[in-house]
Amino acid sequence: MFKKNLPALVALFGAIFIINLTAIAQETESAPNSAITEASLPAGALRILPASVPSEIDQGLKKIVAAGDGKIVQGDSEVLA
């Protein structure tokens, strides 16, 4: 199962990396902590606001959930850079 979903995960993390490079151009806010897990984040971390999250990220997440054949459920999400 993991090997089957590996390309999708690599694509998602690649997209997150690209977002990191372009986060300054997006609508962001400072993110000292994760809004979901409350984990401390490194200095300079940014949260990309929901209206500015690229559709590729949402589509990639939906593909990963769909590939889980009901074994994976999407909960809350946030995009951090």
- Domain of 6, in residue numbers: 2-70
In a domain, 79, yes or no: no
The reported pLDDT for the residue numbered 52 is: 85
- Which segments in the chain show pLDDT lower than 50? none
Q: Any idea how long the chain is? A: 81
In a domain, 43, yes or no: yes
- Model pTM score: 0.61
In a domain, 18, yes or no: yes
The reported pLDDT for the residue numbered 69 is: 86
Q: Which residues, 6 or more positions from 65, have their beta carbon under 8 angstroms from its beta carbon?
A: 72, 73, 74
The reported pLDDT for the residue numbered 41 is: 92
The reported pLDDT for the residue numbered 22 is: 54
Number of domains in the chain: 1
Are 33 and 39 spatial neighbours (Cβ–Cβ below 8 Å)? yes
The reported pLDDT for the residue numbered 40 is: 94
Helices 55-67 and 2-22: crossing angle, nearest 10°? 170
The reported pLDDT for the residue numbered 2 is: 52
Q: Which residues, 6 or more positions from 48, have their beta carbon under 8 angstroms from its beta carbon?
A: 19, 23, 26, 27, 28, 79, 80, 81
In a domain, 37, yes or no: yes
In a domain, 35, yes or no: yes
In a domain, 77, yes or no: no
In a domain, 24, yes or no: yes
